[in-house]
Copies of this chain bind each other. A is one copy, B any other.
Amino acid sequence: MRAKVYVTLKPGVHDPAGKAVVGGLNHLGFDEVKGVRIGKFFEIELDEGPDAEARLKAMCEKLLANTVIERYRVEIA
């Protein structure tokens, strides 16, 4: 089975890389861009199991996300 995990910075957490992208896009002429926040996602290929969703959340808590500053969303395809 396949799952997707989206990890984003929590609101209020400073995102300097996102700010740099805004600057870059504005500089290239895309003046309509006002803000960018960067996140990452993981496409995970895993064996099926009855508790897949709970285990995916555990993976996020333990490795994929830094829950102090990030939140995550699990999507099972």
Contacts and interface: CB of A to CB of B under 8 A. Distances in A.
A45 B63 contact: no
Interface string A8-32: 1000000000100100110010101
Contacts of A45: 33-36
Interface residues of A, number: 32
Q: How many copies does the complex hold?
A: 2
A37 B43 CA distance: 5
A12 B43 CA distance: 14
Contacts of A36: 42-45
Contacts of A46: 30, 32-34
Interface of A: 6, 8, 18, 21, 24-25, 28, 30, 32-47, 49, 52, 55, 58-59, 62-64
